[in-house]
Amino acid sequence: MMLYTYLLILHVMAVMSWMAVMFYQPRLYVYHREHYENEGFVEVVKIQEYKLYKYIGLPAFWASLGSGVGMIILNNALLEQSWMWLKLAVLVLLTLFSFSMEYYRVKLLSNPTLHDGQFFRAYNEVPTLLSILIVAFVIAKDEMLWFSLGVLLFFGGVIYQIATLKKHAQTSLKESK
């Protein structure tokens, strides 16, 4: 049982590191996109994007995955609980998001005007939503269906507002001139 405890400690620490990357990396994309004319600034941001993803994000992802799999192997009764399957489903989405960050990092290298800053601001909210769901499933177990639906609706609205806010403001400004 001591091995399980050590794996749990590693898992929590690795997930915290992985999530820190997922909360900050998209913010770097906002800076990259909105300041693409300032070449010196963008060069610094490119280095930060690369190092954050490659040196912190990927190792933390693999440590999270490895320790999580290890805990399931040591306690396979976890797979008999529906909350764990919900957590794993959201984890698949979180993993896809994590790999999408590398996709956008590489795309921004060759096309600095890929999407606008508002897109990346909205994109930045996705890991928050997914992490709230995972934490809710882990802590409250099987009693989280309505809470989860409420969180999805709330954050869906937030992401929509962020994605459309600047566009509406620009449209209003043009109309007032």
Binding site for heme, by residue number, is 11, 87
Alpha helices in 75-144 (DSSP H): 82-110, 117-123, 126-140
| Rg of the chain over all Cα atoms, to the nearest angstrom | 19
**Residue ranges of the binding site:** 11, 87
Query: For residue 106, what are the CA distances in angstroms to 69, 109, 119, 154?
Result: 29, 5, 16, 31
Token digits of residue 108 = 């921004």
Contact 35, 41 (CB under 8 A): yes
Residue partners of 33: CB distance under 8 A and separation at least 6: 108, 112, 113, 114, 115, 116, 117, 120
